[in-house]
Amino acid sequence: MPSSQPKATVTSFPDLSASVGGRIRDLRTQHGISLTALAVATRLGKGTLSELERGQRNPTLDTLFAIATALSVPLGDLLLTESSDLVRGRPHGAHVHGQSIDAELIGRWTESAEVVEVYRMTVFRGRRKSRSHTQGVVESITVVSGEIAVGVSDDPAHLISGQSHTFLADQDHFYEGLVHRSSTVLVMRYPMTPETAGEHGE
């Protein structure tokens, strides 16, 4: 028996709690709900959530599960901060967070003189405006689940699960979640520029 163990209370990483807490806060604000509302939904104490989001707590499994359920995300998503999911070892996986959207790059290649990028994009309730990108950007979005409005301001489309829409994104456009959470796949296509030309050699 290695009796010389100091109790030490290693507390593993203070930043683990902090990172999980930050992720929870991000998800909550993306859903546009207040801390009090989340407390009601999860049947957790308000103060508990406050300290938890600030990384000053070491939450239990039950607590994490209650939060994940209320935020409609799988339990693992609360823990996937940085370290875990880069095990995939791909340069992909870059996350883009934004007003009411959360996108992950899952594929990227070049096609003739164009760059093609595929995102798994989650759209939360609310509207996200997007300025024009590079000249000649074409976006195709397919709704996996949920319901969204999307497209250029003049001619938007209303999409439900299984429907798609393609539009020119080199003008002002928007993504608007019409339910709590919608899952989509976004294909973005734009002309290869000198900078993007040399990237990511096949």
Partner DNA sequence: CTCCTCTGTTCTGTTTACAGAACGATTATG
Partner DNA sequence: CATAATCGTTCTGTAAACAGAACAGAGGAG
136's contact among DNA, a second copy, none, with CB below 5 to 8 A by partner kind, is none
CB atoms within 10 A of CB 179: 14
192's contact among DNA, a second copy, none, with CB below 5 to 8 A by partner kind, is none
Q: Does 27 bind a second copy (CB under 8 A)?
A: no
Q: Does 166 bind a second copy (CB under 8 A)?
A: yes
- List of residues 6+ apart from 34 with CB closer than 8 A: none
Q: Is 183 helix (H, G, I), strand (E, B) or coil?
A: strand
Among 29, 48, 99, 120, binds a second copy (CB under 8 A): 120
d(CA 179, CA 143): 12
CA nearest 145: which of 93, 185, 117? 185
Among 111, 154, 155, 195, binds a second copy (CB under 8 A): 111
- Backbone φ, ψ for residue 98 (5° rounding): -165, 180
Among 29, 35, 65, 170, binds a second copy (CB under 8 A): 65
Q: Does 35 bind a second copy (CB under 8 A)?
A: no
Q: Does 4 bind DNA (CB under 7 A)?
A: no
Contact 177, 148 (CB under 8 A): yes
Interface residues for DNA in 17-36 (CB under 7 A)?
34-36
Torsion region of 34: left, alpha or beta (phi above 0 gives left; psi -120 to 50 gives alpha): beta
Applying CB under 8 A, which residues contact a second copy? 2, 5, 8, 10-13, 16-17, 20, 40, 43, 58-62, 64-66, 69, 74-77, 79-80, 83-88, 90-92, 106-107, 109-112, 114, 116, 118, 120, 138, 140, 142, 144-145, 162-166, 183, 185, 187, 189
